[in-house]
Amino acid sequence: MSYVIALDAGTTSVRAFVFDDKKGKFVHSVQQEVTQSFPNPGWVEQDANEIYYKAVYCLNDCVRFAGAERVAGVGITNQRETVVVWNARTGEPICPAIVWQCRRTSAFCASLDRETKDLIRSRTGLIPDAYFSASKIKWILDHVPEARTLLKEGNLRAGTVDSYLIYKLTEGKSFVTDYTNASRTMLFDIRRLAWDDGLLNRFGVPREILPEARPSDSLMGEAVIGGKRIPIAGVLGDQQAALFGQGCLNAGDGKITYGTGLFLLFNTGGNCVASEKGVLTTVGYTVGGRTAYALEGRAFNAGSAVQWLRDEVGLISSSAESERIAGSVPDNGGVYFVPAFTGLGAPYWNPDARGLLTGITRGTTRAHIVRAVLESIAYGARDLSESMEADSGICLREIKCDGGASANDFLMQFQADVLGVSINRPAERESTALGAALMCAVSRGLVGIGEVPRLRRSEKIFTCTEERKKFDELYAAYRLAVKRALTV
C-alpha cells in the first residue's frame, strides 16, 4: 500500500487528495463546491448532508484513482467550530449546520457572567465568542424541538464537521473527534484533554451527546468507500493541519496562512501558555502520546484588503498586479494603511475600529497606496508574533507560509524584514491537506514523525535584511496609525 488520502472539508469546498509517501507529493485531487446560506442577518448555515455527499464523491474518485487495495488510510481535516447536530439512528441532521462565521449567538456570549468568561479562558484557552461551537450547540438545543425529543430518547449527537463525517463514513460505528477540533468548542479542557463538566453545565450541553475526543494520530474507525473498508487515521482542524503539514514541530516554529484574513500559529511545544496579550491558546496536535500546544492569532483582513484595492477602489486589475506596482516605488512615501474594515482582531480586539489611510501628500501615487496596503498585512503578522513571543518567552525561529498571498514575492520579503526572521514558502501550497495526509501516514506507520519536516519541501526562502532599525521604525509608525484608527 503506497497511498494515503487527505479529505479536506473546508468552508466553501470539499476536496480530496491522493498522497504518495514515497514521492512525498500529491498525485491526484478532486474538488466539489459547498453552498452557504444566509437566512437572517449575521447567520451562516450549510447543509451537512451536502458536505457528506460531496465528501463521498471526492473519496470515491480518489479510491478509483489509487485502487482501494493500495490505500493505507484516510486523513481528515476540516473547517473548525462549525456545528452539526444529528439523529443517531438515521444519521440525518436535524437542522442546518451552524457555520463558524455565524453570529446569531453573539448577544448570548456577551451576556455571560464574569465567572463563566474567566472559566472559559482558563480551561479552554479561548475568548468567549459566538465564533466557537458551545453557544451554537446551545442554540440548537433551545430552538429545534426535535433536539429535545431525541435527547430524551438518547439518540441525539452533536459535533464538529469531522465528527459528523466520521460517523457517516463508518455507518454510525464511530462517534469521535480529535483534540484539536475539541479544543475549538469552548467546552474542552486543553490541559486535561477532556470535556469540562463545569462548562458543559453552564452551556446546558449534556456530555452524552458529544463525541469521544482522541489524539490526532488515532485510528478513528473504518470508512466504507465503494464497498471497501479503509481506516480513518489522522484528524486535525484546518489551521492545526497546516501547522503540521508545514513541519512546524518545534517550539518557536510558526506558520502564517494568508487568506481573507491572516492566521498565525506559533508552536509552544509541551507548554500550554495562558495568553495575556489577547491571542488564543489551542492544541496544536497530539502524536505518539505527546501533545504540542500553539498560540493562535488572527488578523481579520489580509487578502480582503487586496480585494478592496481591486474591486472597490480600482487601483489594481488583479491581485497579482499588486506585487509589481508595490515594487515600483522605493518605499511607502510615508503612507500607512490600517485594514480595519471589520474592526481589529488580536491583540487589539476592538470591533469599532475603522480602516484608515494616513500620510497622504500631493506626491502620493497609486503605487504608494498599493504598497501601504501590502505592508499592512505584514505589520498585522508582527502584531501577533510580538504578542506570542511576550506570552511564551520563546523567540520566533522561522515562519512557514501558505495561502493565496504567499505567492506575492514583495509581501513575503517585506514580511521577513518586518518580523526579522526567514519566510519559508513551500513547493506544495496545499499545506492543510498535506497535514492531514502526513498525520495519516504517521498514524499508519508509513512515515516517522521525524520525517515530516523532510516531506515538506521548500520552494523559496526569503531572508531578512540587516536593517532592523529601519523596519522597527516603519512598524512604530504603523502602530501610531493604528492608534488613530482606534479613535475614529
Question: Are 176 and 252 in a shared domain?
Answer: no
User: What's the Cα-to-Cα distance from 379 to each of 26, 31, 171, rounded to whole Å?
Assistant: 33, 34, 48
pLDDT at 6: 96
- The share of the chain scoring above pLDDT 90, in percent, equals 73
Question: Are 58 and 197 in a shared domain?
Answer: yes
In a domain, 428, yes or no: no
Residue where a domain stops, chosen among 205, 220, 238:
238
- Model confidence at 282, in pLDDT bands (50, 70, 90)? very high
User: Which of the two residues, 226 and 71, has the higher pLDDT score?
Assistant: 71
pLDDT at 88 > cutoff 70: yes
Question: Are 260 and 369 in a shared domain?
Answer: yes
249-266 residue pLDDT tens? 999 999 999 887 888 999
In a domain, 449, yes or no: no
Mean pLDDT of 40-48: 90
Specify whether the CB–CB gap between 333 and 363 falls below 8 A: yes
DSSP-derived secondary structure for 355-398: -EEE---TT--HHHHHHHHHHHHHHHHHHHHHHHHHHH-----E
Ranked by mean pLDDT, which of 24-28, 145-149, 446-450 comes out on top? 145-149
Question: Are 222 and 256 in a shared domain?
Answer: no
Say what the alpha-carbon torsion angle 130, 133, 136, 138 is, to the nearest 10 degrees.
-110
In a domain, 448, yes or no: no
Residue where a domain stops, chosen among 181, 209, 238:
238
- As for how many domains the chain has, the answer is 2
In a domain, 426, yes or no: no
Mean pLDDT of 311-339: 92
Find the domain containing 401 and state its range.
247-421+457-488
Mean pLDDT of 355-359: 92
Mean pLDDT of 227-238: 93
User: Which of the two residues, 94 and 404, has the higher pLDDT score?
Assistant: 94
pLDDT at 130: 86
User: What's the Cα-to-Cα distance from 42 to each of 99, 144, 173, 372, rounded to whole Å?
Assistant: 11, 19, 35, 31
pLDDT at 352 > cutoff 80: no
Question: Are 167 and 264 in a shared domain?
Answer: no
Mean pLDDT of 18-43: 89
Mean pLDDT of 290-301: 90
pLDDT at 1 > cutoff 70: no
pLDDT at 75 > cutoff 90: yes
Residue where a domain stops, chosen among 206, 238, 270:
238
- Model confidence at 488, in pLDDT bands (50, 70, 90)? low
Question: Are 324 and 215 in a shared domain?
Answer: no
pLDDT at 397: 87
Whole-number average pLDDT of the chain: 92
129-168 residue pLDDT tens? 888 999 999 999 999 999 999 999 999 999 999 999 999 9
Mean pLDDT of 165-185: 96
pLDDT at 486: 84
Question: Are 324 and 194 in a shared domain?
Answer: no
Question: Are 217 and 253 in a shared domain?
Answer: no
- Model confidence at 283, in pLDDT bands (50, 70, 90)? very high
Across-strand partners of 264? 256, 297
End-to-end CA distance of the chain: 60
Here the CATH number for the domain that contains residue 189 is 3.30.420.40
Residue 458: Cβ within 10 Å count:
12
- The share of the chain scoring above pLDDT 70, in percent, equals 100
Residue 377 has which C-alpha cell? 498585512
In a domain, 174, yes or no: yes
Question: Are 283 and 404 in a shared domain?
Answer: yes
pLDDT at 351 > cutoff 80: no
pLDDT at 349 > cutoff 80: no
Mean pLDDT of 392-401: 91
Question: Are 331 and 202 in a shared domain?
Answer: no
Q: Are strands 290-299 and 262-269 parallel, antiparallel or unpaired?
A: antiparallel
Lowest average pLDDT, out of 170-184, 235-249, 340-354, goes to: 340-354
Mean pLDDT of 403-417: 92
DSSP-derived secondary structure for 176-188: EEEHHHHTTTT-E
In a domain, 439, yes or no: no
Closest C-alpha among 293, 153, 168, 131 to residue 209: 153
Q: Which residues contact 153 (CB under 8 A, 6 or more apart)?
A: none
Q: How many CA atoms lie within 13 A of 68 on its CB side?
A: 12
pLDDT at 410: 95
Local structure of residue 434 (DSSP, 8 states): H
Residue 1 has which C-alpha cell? 500500500
Question: Are 368 and 287 in a shared domain?
Answer: yes
Mean pLDDT of 280-299: 93
Residues 249, 300: Cα–Cα separation, whole Å: 26
Question: Are 231 and 279 in a shared domain?
Answer: no
